[in-house]
A and B are shown apart, each in its own frame.
Chain A
Amino acid sequence: MKKAIQRAFAVSLLAGAVAFGVGAHAADVIKIGVAGPMTGGNAAFGEQFWRGAVQAAEDINAAGGVNGKKIELVKADDACEPKQAVAVANRLVDQDKVDAIIGHFCSSSTIPASEIYAEAGKLQITPASTNPKVTERNIPTIFRTCGRDDQQGAVAADFILSTLKAKKIAVIHDKDTYGQGLADAMKASAAKKGAKEVLYEGLTRGEKDFNALATKIKAADADAVYFGGLAAEAGPLVRQLREQGSTAAFISGDGIVDTAFVTAAGGPQFSKGVYMTFGADPRNLPGGKSLVEKFRKAGYEPEGYTLYSYATLQAVTEAMKATKSTDGATLAKWLKGHTVNTVMGPKAWDAKGDLKVSDYVMYQWDDKGGYAELKK
């Protein structure tokens, strides 16, 4: 009996030693999880996350890494399903033992996953989840490098009412966390300014026939259509509106910042003139120019959230360099007190983890299938 106990003790000691060995090896690198929809309907955004983070990790490692350690990225796929988000979050924390997380994309994934990161005391920065709820739940270790839907909605409402001077606004959303959140935010800030929408409807994601809705918008005689949703639905909707002879202004959010919007609309003749809100385009910032060239040389156009993801990794590593730590609480405290110079310009965060300055501006699609910032 005694011998058995001794043996068990020896085995466990050995196991501990092995574990320590592995741990010592793992400490040579800093692991960062990149979580997003790598498969499924939003896989294009997952790719943007990954491309941006990979480029950032390459550049940081080439410049000597962080505190003498190299950055290693771990790809995590949640397919924008909350169930999978919980699974990958547990995996990142428990199996991959990452030091910080960039992600997730969909707010409905970010919210349940953030509980797990918070329990584990890991820093999480999402480059894209704009739903207000993400940072409104008293979790100290969550940040975002994008704006919030309510900020975005306010910019859009202001534009529609002051610049376009629209009288009859139709508000359409895609019944999803992002789309409906955005549409509601814009509706609320328009209501504050005393404007009431003539139509408020939700369409079904994945469908392509919105003719009935287009007729309805036309029948309501709307002169501005605000759409909260993604390119796959915005494209057909705008096309069918135009086909039915409606000339109402079409305004949407950062969900259509993707050349796929033009393809989905059936060409620039339909997509031209469409307005959208988006952060100041990093591709136009002085710091971003050379980086964009680097991406383009590799045959990839750094659209949408690519540079957000790049900037996010910069923020994470800057905090790690400054604090010489990977502990979530320490990093969070530092980030809330300092300004980080990223490829997207200087960024600073408030106590909730939101950006202090939201830089939403209006863009307009042109007749060649490109978009440009709208001059005031």
Chain B
Amino acid sequence: MLPAAPLHSRIDVLASLREALLAFVLALVVFGPVSGLMLSGYKVEPHWLRPLLLAAVVAAGRFAIHLLGQTPAGRRMVARNQARVHGGVTVAALGQSPNRARLLLVFVLLGAFVIPFLPWLPVPDALAALGGKYWLSNLILALIYVLLGLGLNIVVGLAGLLDLGFVAFYAVGAYFLALGAQYLGIGFWTALVCAPLLAACCGAVLGFPVLRMHGDYLAIVTLGFGEIIRLVLNNWLEFTGGPNGAPVPPPTLFGLEFTRTARQGGTPIHEFLGIEYNTNLKLVFTYLVLLVVVILMVRLLTRLRQIPMGRAWEALREDEIACRSLGINHVVVKLTAFMMGAMTGGLAGVFFATYQGFVNPTSFTFFESALILAIVVLGGLGSTVGVIIAALVLTLLPELLREFADFRVLAFGLLMVLMMIWRPRGLIRPQRPAFAPPQEVAR
């Protein structure tokens, strides 16, 4: 709670210094042994400078924050942040979304479709690189995470069920393509249709017994399920290939292949079209299909939130008892959310398997679930736009941070903490779509 000091009190530098000193001592205790004494065999080597440096940084930061907190501007900032923290979900204004937003949307979509063709267009190199192999593959990965985020958003954001094992459905989708290709000879397109259905069934099977549970118990049970699926995939050597994983065939389009030479009995697309072979072709294709799927998914989600089922999800999240008293079958409602989420996860899995050309259980660890959850929370629980932005940020950021090499994951973790402090409700405040009763009924 904020001290109720008058706005124009004097700035007490001494107090800030005192705080900084305290922080310095604490930081020395915390960082001192682990970073200052490096284990080597059964002896330690001292590195005195490292903890001193770390502690100095901490102290300087503490000093700056404390000093800023005393200025009127700083206080206003804190107050604004507090207000933001304690605000809830708002309802969007009724009527058409503003034209400016629509225009922006059109531009973003257009841009997204143009990206893969940039290397063929007369644009500056820096821009063309965006459509190059490296960024294109990163964008594919980012879009996969958008899909995953959207799926988990249904479960956690809309229905309010904390799911820590979402990665299980992702694995089901990915392995369906890999193993289906191996045993049944199915291809990318079959998997694209069947995998989500299978994942949804898995969601129903797993969801049914556990949906009676509350909040955090549900969390640990889903975590358990996620781990069980991963462990089975890892242990069942004869069927899944175990830790060696399973290869995934490259995607095809009506029998046309994207590899240099035909591997699956079709014709390579560059020969069909009479153009020069380009390693980007496969990526461009995957990217475009994925983009269309993501757009369809977003559209579907927007509509879902407006029909009774979607409204029931959100109502159940806000007050389960009230909903049950009003006659909503909470198990069915939760189950639909769980299945919808699982379906999206399975869809993402198919694209992931295609992207990587190879699946193995190390891609489906708990860390992955945590990352997807971070996307949903960071995006603002329940906000579709927020989830998309957060997915792009969280997948592209580590790539941008690659320059920092060793400090990459450390910086990523720090950013997660800082983001939560700065915007605990996520980047975008979720808005519930407004609902206008039809005129006849209102009358």
Q: Which of A88-96, A250-258, A314-322 contacts B (4 or more CB under 8 A)?
A: A88-96
Q: Are A112 and B356 in contact (CB under 8 A)?
A: yes
Which single member of A86, A90, A108 contacts B243 (CB below 8 Å)?
Answer: A108
From 165 to 180 in chain A, residues with beta carbon under 8 angstroms from any chain B beta carbon are: 175-177, 180
A65 to chain B, nearest CB (A): 25
Does A181 reach chain B (CB closer than 8 Å)? yes
**A119 to B362 Cα, complex, angstroms:** 24
Q: Which of A6-14, A210-218, A330-338, A360-368 contacts B (4 or more CB under 8 A)?
A: A6-14
Q: Are B41 and A15 in contact (CB under 8 A)?
A: no
Does B287 reach chain A (CB closer than 8 Å)? no
A105 to chain B, nearest CB (A): 13
Q: Are B129 and A95 in contact (CB under 8 A)?
A: yes
Q: Are B356 and A11 in contact (CB under 8 A)?
A: no
| With A38-B406, A177-B244, A180-B242: A82-B358 Cβ-Cβ less than 8 Å | yes
Q: Are A176 and B243 in contact (CB under 8 A)?
A: yes
Which single member of B123, B235, B362, B406 contacts A15 (CB below 8 Å)?
Answer: B123
Q: Are B133 and A181 in contact (CB under 8 A)?
A: no
Which single member of B124, B129, B260 contacts A11 (CB below 8 Å)?
Answer: B124
Which single member of A86, A111, A267 contacts B137 (CB below 8 Å)?
Answer: A86
Does B234 reach chain A (CB closer than 8 Å)? yes
| With A15-B125, A39-B406, A75-B405: A108-B132 Cβ-Cβ less than 8 Å | no
B259: chain A residues at CB < 8 Å are 119
Does B182 reach chain A (CB closer than 8 Å)? no
Q: Are B122 and A115 in contact (CB under 8 A)?
A: no
From 159 to 207 in chain A, residues with beta carbon under 8 angstroms from any chain B beta carbon are: 175-177, 180-181, 202
- Give the A-B contact count at a CB cut-off of 8 A: 100
Q: Are B244 and A9 in contact (CB under 8 A)?
A: no
A175: chain B residues at CB < 8 Å are 234-235, 242-243
From 310 to 368 in chain B, residues with beta carbon under 8 angstroms from any chain A beta carbon are: 355-358, 360, 362-363
Which single member of B42, B135, B362 contacts A263 (CB below 8 Å)?
Answer: B42
Does B279 reach chain A (CB closer than 8 Å)? yes
Does B245 reach chain A (CB closer than 8 Å)? yes
From 123 to 139 in chain B, residues with beta carbon under 8 angstroms from any chain A beta carbon are: 123-125, 128-129, 132-135, 137-138
B122: chain A residues at CB < 8 Å are 8-9, 11-12, 15
B399: chain A residues at CB < 8 Å are 87, 91
Does B408 reach chain A (CB closer than 8 Å)? yes
A125 to chain B, nearest CB (A): 20
**A155 to B243 Cα, complex, angstroms:** 23
- We find that the number of chain B residues with CB closer than 8 angstroms to chain A is 38
Which single member of A8, A19, A177 contacts B360 (CB below 8 Å)?
Answer: A177
Which single member of A18, A86, A88, A180 contacts B125 (CB below 8 Å)?
Answer: A18
Does B381 reach chain A (CB closer than 8 Å)? no
B137: chain A residues at CB < 8 Å are 86-87, 90
| With A39-B409, A115-B357: A81-B362 Cβ-Cβ less than 8 Å | yes
Does B141 reach chain A (CB closer than 8 Å)? yes
A164 to chain B, nearest CB (A): 27
Does A240 reach chain B (CB closer than 8 Å)? no
* Binary per-residue interface labels of chain B (233-266) against chain A in the complex, 1 for a CB within 8 Å, 0 otherwise: 0110100001111000000000000011000000
Does A120 reach chain B (CB closer than 8 Å)? yes
Does B402 reach chain A (CB closer than 8 Å)? yes
Q: Are A83 and B279 in contact (CB under 8 A)?
A: no
| With A15-B125, A93-B133, A177-B244: A120-B360 Cβ-Cβ less than 8 Å | no
| With A39-B409, A77-B408, A87-B138: A108-B402 Cβ-Cβ less than 8 Å | no
| With A8-B122, A108-B362: A82-B356 Cβ-Cβ less than 8 Å | yes
B245 to chain A, nearest CB (A): 6
B133 to chain A, nearest CB (A): 4
B406: chain A residues at CB < 8 Å are 38-39
**A94 to B283 Cα, complex, angstroms:** 13
**A34 to B360 Cα, complex, angstroms:** 23
Q: Are A112 and B357 in contact (CB under 8 A)?
A: yes
Which single member of B141, B279, B360, B405 contacts A108 (CB below 8 Å)?
Answer: B360
Does A152 reach chain B (CB closer than 8 Å)? no
- Residue of B42, B243, B358, B399 with most partner-chain A CB within 10 A: B243
* Binary per-residue interface labels of chain A (109-126) against chain B in the complex, 1 for a CB within 8 Å, 0 otherwise: 001100100011000000
**A176 to B360 Cα, complex, angstroms:** 10
| With A11-B122, A82-B245, A133-B244: A77-B355 Cβ-Cβ less than 8 Å | no
A93: chain B residues at CB < 8 Å are 133-134
From 336 to 356 in chain A, residues with beta carbon under 8 angstroms from any chain B beta carbon are: none
**A94 to B139 Cα, complex, angstroms:** 14
B123: chain A residues at CB < 8 Å are 12, 15
**A107 to B358 Cα, complex, angstroms:** 12
Does A55 reach chain B (CB closer than 8 Å)? no
23 contacting pairs across A/B (C-beta < 8 A): A11-B122, A12-B123, A15-B124, A39-B406, A82-B245, A82-B362, A86-B355, A87-B137, A87-B141, A90-B134, A90-B137, A91-B402, A94-B132, A95-B132, A95-B134, A112-B357, A176-B243, A177-B243, A177-B360, A180-B242, A180-B244, A181-B244, A259-B41
Q: A12-B123, A15-B123, A19-B125 are in contact. List 15 more A-B contacts (CB 8 A).
A: A81-B362, A81-B363, A82-B356, A82-B358, A87-B137, A87-B138, A87-B399, A93-B134, A94-B129, A94-B132, A112-B356, A119-B279, A133-B244, A180-B243, A259-B41
Give A contacts to B, CB under 8 Å: 8-9, 11-12, 15, 18-19, 22, 38-39, 75, 77, 80-83, 86-88, 90-91, 93-95, 107-108, 111-112, 115, 119-120, 131, 133, 175-177, 180-181, 202, 259, 263, 267
Can you list the 7 inter-chain pairs with the closest CB atoms, starting with the nearest? A12-B122, A94-B134, A94-B133, A112-B358, A119-B279, A90-B137, A177-B243
